[in-house]
Chains A and B, each alone.
Chain A
Amino acid sequence: MGVGLTNYIVLSAILFGLGIFAIITRKNAILVLMGVELILNSANINFVAFAKFNKLNIEGHIAAIFVIMLAAIEVAVALAIVLNIYQNYKHINVDEIDSLKE
C-alpha cells in the first residue's frame, strides 16, 4: 500500500494537534512560538499534499512557499516581542504575563 492523501492529512492533523497543545500548555514563550510554527507547517503539508494528489496544482506549492516566507517574518516580529517582554519582566513565562487584564 503506497502513501496516499489520507496519510498526509493524518500527519498534518497530528502536527496541528501538537502545535495547539504546545501553544496552550507551554509556559515558555519560545516554545509557544514553536507551536505556532508546527501549525503553520501542518498547513504547508496540507497544501503540498493537495497539490500532489488533487487538483490544486502549482498554486499549492506557491501557497506553501508564501507560508514559509510569512513564517519567517512572523518569527522575526514575534522574537522582537519576546525580547521586549524579557526586558520588561525579566522572564518569558506567558502565564505570568496577564497585564492585558487590567
Chain B
Amino acid sequence: MSGEVLLYIGTAILLFPLLSFVINLFFGKRIGKASSIVATSILGVVLILSFIIFYSKVFGHFENKLVQNGNILLEVSDKILQIKFTWLDLQTIQLKVGIGIDNLAAIMLVVVALISFLVHLFSIEYMSGDPRYSRYFAYLGLFTFSMNGIVLANNFLFMYIFWELVGISSYLLIGFWYEKKSASDAGKKAFLVNRVGDLGFFIGIMILYFSYGTLLFDDIFGSIAQGRLPFDSETILTLAGIFVFCGAIGKSAQFPLHVWLPDAMEGPTPVSALIHAATMVAAGVYLTARVYAMFTASALSFIASIGAITAFLAATIALTQVDFKRVLAYSTVSQLGYMIMSLGVGAYTMGFFHLVTHAWFKAALFLASGSVIHAMHHAAHHLGDHHTDPQDIRNMGGLRKTMPWTYRTFLFVTLAICGVPLTSGFLSKDGILAGTLAYAQLTGGWHWLIPIAGFASAGLTAFYMFRLLILSFHGEPKTNVAKHTKENNWIILLPLFVLSILSFWFFYSPNPLDAHQGWFPKAIVQPKSVVPDEQQWEFLLINGYNQNEHTFQQVEHASHHYINGFEEAMHHAHYPAMILSLLIAGTGILFAFLFYQFKILNPDTIVNQFPLLYKVSYKKWYFDEIYNATVVAATVGFAKISALFDLKIIDGLVNGSAWVARNLGYFIGHFDNIVIDGLVNLIANLTGFFGSMVRYLQTGRVQTYVAFAIVGLILLVYFLF
C-alpha cells in the first residue's frame, strides 16, 4: 500500500476513537446498553486498520518521495511516512505539526488498538449494570484517541497535547467511581504527580523551542546533528534531554514519581489493564524511545539509573503487598523501570521489545485479576457478604479449582513475566539483562550496580509473582467467598486467551532463546545519535551506518555484523545473562513454592527476624509518608502562608483602595448628579421642546406627505433652475 494511503489510514485510526467518545458522550444515555457495542465495533475497525498499517509499514518497502502540496509537506521513505504542515503562522512564530508513522509507531499502534479493543470487549461484561455505563465507554474512546495521538505525533506540540489528554482520561477513569473517596483522591494524586513530571517535560520542550524555533522532531534533531546546541552548551543539551525525560518519569511512574500508579488501581480493573499496565504508562518509554537520538551519554546514564532504581525499589515493595491489584501495579512499575533502564544503557531495541511483550502479558495479568475480582465480587454479593474485600489475596486461595481457565492463562503469563523460556517475556528480559551486562562491562565502575539491580529485580519478580499465584489460586479456599466463586463467561475469558497466546515466543523469533533472530530487531533499529560524538558513549556511535538509507532488507543482510560496539558486547553477554537470569528466576520461583506452597519455610519467621525490612517493604519505603511530610506539607504550609498574606495584606490593600474609591465615587456622584445631569437634561429638554413643535407636521395621512413632497419638489426645481 502506498505511503499516502497509509497516512490517511493513520488519520482515521486517530479520529475513530474520538467518534466513539463523541457518540457515547452525547447519545450514550439514549442508546443505553448499545453504547458498548458502538464503542467496541469502532475499536474493532481501528484494530483492523492498525494491523494494515503494521503489516504494510514494518514488512513493506517504500519509494522515497517528497511532495510539497501548498502548506502540506508529505514525506515517504522506508524510515518514516509523515505529513508536516504549518498549523499556526504568526510570521514571528511558526508552529509546524504533523503525524508520522515509523516502525516504532506502527508497532505501538497495534499494541494500543489490540489491548484497547480487548479491554472494550472485557468491559462489556465487567461493567454491566454500572449506572455510568456509556460514560465509561466514552472515556475509553477519549483515552484511545489521545494515546494514538501520542503514537502518531511527529512533533513535541502534538506530543504534549496528547500527553495531557491521556493524563486527563487517566484522571477521569481512575476516579470513575468518584463516590468512593479513595478513588477520587487517587485520581487527583495521579493528576498532580503527573503534573510535576509534565512541568519538566514542558521546560525541556521550551528549551528546545527557544533554541531551534521549531517543534518538529526531524528539525530539532537535524539542528543538533549540525552541531547547533541549545545555548551553545553541551550541558544544556543534556539538561534538555533530562527535562524531556521528566515527562516519562511522571507518566511511566518512575522513581521518584512512581507513587501515583499503585493508587491508580482504584479505577475499574479493565482500565488498569489498558491504561495503567499496557499503554499509557508505556507512553513514557515510548517518548524516551522517540527522542532517543538527542540523549547524551550523561542523560543516558541518568535514565539508566532512574530505571534501575525504579525496577529494584518497586520489586521489593511488591513482595509484601496483599492487594491483588497492588502487587500487579508494583510489578508494572518495576517492569517499566526495566524498559527505561534498557533504553538508558543503550539496549534500545530490547527496551521497546519489552514494552510490547510486557503490554500483552501485563494486560493479561490485569484482566485475569479483573476476572478474579469479578468472580469474588459476585460470590460475595451472592452470599450477602459485604465485609470480605474481593481484592485481598488473603481472602482468596483455591481459585484453581473454581476458575480453571483464568488460572491457566494467569499461570502462563506469570511464567512470561518471570522470564521463563518459550515465552515472549524471556526474550525481551534476557535481551535487557544482556544489555545491562554489556553496558557495565563497557563502562565499568559504579555502573555495575545497574545489572545487579536488574538481576535482583528479576529474582524478586519471579518470587512475588509466584507468591501471588500460589496465595490466590493454590491451596484451600481461605474464605467462604473464595469457595463459591465461579468461572466467568467467554466475553471475559476471550481477551485473556488472546493476550496469553501473544506471549508465546514464536510471534517474535523462531528461536525461543534468542530474540535477535526474529523480525523485531530488524524492524526497530536504534536511531543514530545526533549529539556531538564526544558527548556520546563511544560504543553507541554508529560508524559507517547511514540511518536514512536503512531498509528492512539491508538490515537483514547486515545482521551478521554489528552496528556498534554495544551491539557486539551485548551479543557476547547473551549467554551469561541467559544462564544467570534463568538461575535467578528459578531460585525466585523455588523460594515462592517453598514459602507458600509447601510451607517448608515460614514467611512469618523471616518477618520476625527482619522486622525493619518487612516494614519498609510493606509501607512502600515510606514514600507516601515522606512526601506527605515534605512536599505535601511544604505545599500546604506555603499555601497557608499565602492565604494569610492574601487575607491580611492583599485584602487590606484591596479594602483600603476600595475605601478611597468609594469616597471619591461619592463626590464624583454628586458632581454627576448636579452638573453633568443638569447639562444633559437641559439638552434633552430643548430637544423635546423642538420636537413637540415639529410633530404637528406629522399628520399620519399619506396625502399630506405627498403634498409636502410636491411642494418640496417645486421648491427644489425653483431654486436649482
**A binding-site residues for B, Cβ under 8 Å:** 20, 23-25, 32, 94-95, 97-102
Contact = CB atoms under 8 A, between A and B. Distances in A.
B233 interface: no
Nearest to A29: B702
A95 B702 CA distance: 7
5 contacts: A24-B710, A32-B703, A94-B701, A97-B701, A99-B700
Contacts of B707: 24
Interface string B671-703: 000000000000000000000000000111111
Contacts of B700: 97-102
B699 A24 contact: no
Nearest to A36: B706
Contacts of A95: 701, 703
B323 to A, nearest CB: 81
Contacts of A97: 700-702
A94 B698 contact: no
Contact of A101 (B698, B703, B706, B710): B698
The range of chain B's interface size is under 10
A35 B335 CA distance: 99
Given A20-B706, A23-B703, A24-B707, 4 more contacts: A20-B710, A24-B706, A95-B701, A100-B700
A98 B710 contact: no
Contacts of B703: 23-25, 32, 94-95
A32 B705 CA distance: 13
Contacts of B702: 32, 94, 97, 100
Nearest to A95: B701
A25 B702 CA distance: 11
Contacts of A25: 703
Contacts of B710: 20, 24
A23 B706 contact: yes
Contacts of A20: 706, 710
Interface of B: 698-703, 706-707, 710
B701 A98 contact: yes
Contacts of B701: 94-95, 97-98
A7 to B, nearest CB: 22
A101 B703 CA distance: 13
Contacts of B699: 98, 101
Contacts of A98: 699-701
A79 to B, nearest CB: 16
Contacts of A99: 700
A12 B700 CA distance: 30
A99 B699 CA distance: 9
A95 B710 CA distance: 18
A100 B698 CA distance: 9
A20 B708 CA distance: 12
A25 B703 CA distance: 8
A18 to B, nearest CB: 13
A25 B710 CA distance: 13
A97 B702 CA distance: 8
Nearest to B705: A100
A69 to B, nearest CB: 24
Nearest to A100: B700
A97 B703 CA distance: 10
A30 B703 CA distance: 13
B578 to A, nearest CB: 98
A88 B626 CA distance: 87
B554 to A, nearest CB: 82
Contacts of B706: 20, 23-24
A73 to B, nearest CB: 20
Contacts of B698: 101
A23 B700 CA distance: 15
A90 to B, nearest CB: 18
A27 B554 CA distance: 103
Nearest to B703: A24
B36 to A, nearest CB: 61
A74 to B, nearest CB: 15
Q: Which 7 A-B pairs have the closest CB atoms?
A: A101-B700, A98-B700, A100-B700, A98-B701, A24-B707, A24-B703, A23-B706
A22 to B, nearest CB: 10
B352 to A, nearest CB: 79
B613 to A, nearest CB: 96
A23 B704 CA distance: 10
Nearest to A27: B703
A102 B710 CA distance: 24
Nearest to B707: A24
Contacts of A102: 700
A24 B707 CA distance: 6
Nearest to B698: A101
B707 to A, nearest CB: 5
A95 B706 CA distance: 12
Nearest to A25: B703
Name the residue in A25, A101, A102 with the highest tally of chain B Cβ atoms < 10 Å from its Cβ.
A101
A84 to B, nearest CB: 15
A86 to B, nearest CB: 15
A95 B707 CA distance: 13
Nearest to B702: A94
A25 B700 CA distance: 15
A2 B706 CA distance: 37
Nearest to A35: B706
Nearest to A23: B706
A25 B701 CA distance: 12
B699 to A, nearest CB: 6
A95 B696 CA distance: 16
A35 B249 CA distance: 92
A23 B701 CA distance: 12
Contacts of A94: 701-703
B701 to A, nearest CB: 5
B705 to A, nearest CB: 9
A16 B332 CA distance: 100
A100 B701 CA distance: 8
A99 B701 CA distance: 8
Contacts of A23: 703, 706
B695 to A, nearest CB: 9
B696 to A, nearest CB: 11
B322 to A, nearest CB: 87
A55 to B, nearest CB: 21
A46 to B, nearest CB: 15
A94 B701 CA distance: 7
A89 to B, nearest CB: 13
A23 B702 CA distance: 9
A32 B706 CA distance: 11
A101 B702 CA distance: 10
A20 B711 CA distance: 11
A80 to B, nearest CB: 16
B297 to A, nearest CB: 89
Nearest to A20: B710
A24 B702 CA distance: 9
A101 B698 CA distance: 6
A68 to B, nearest CB: 23
B172 to A, nearest CB: 61
Contacts of A101: 698-700
A17 to B, nearest CB: 10
Nearest to A98: B700
A98 B703 CA distance: 10
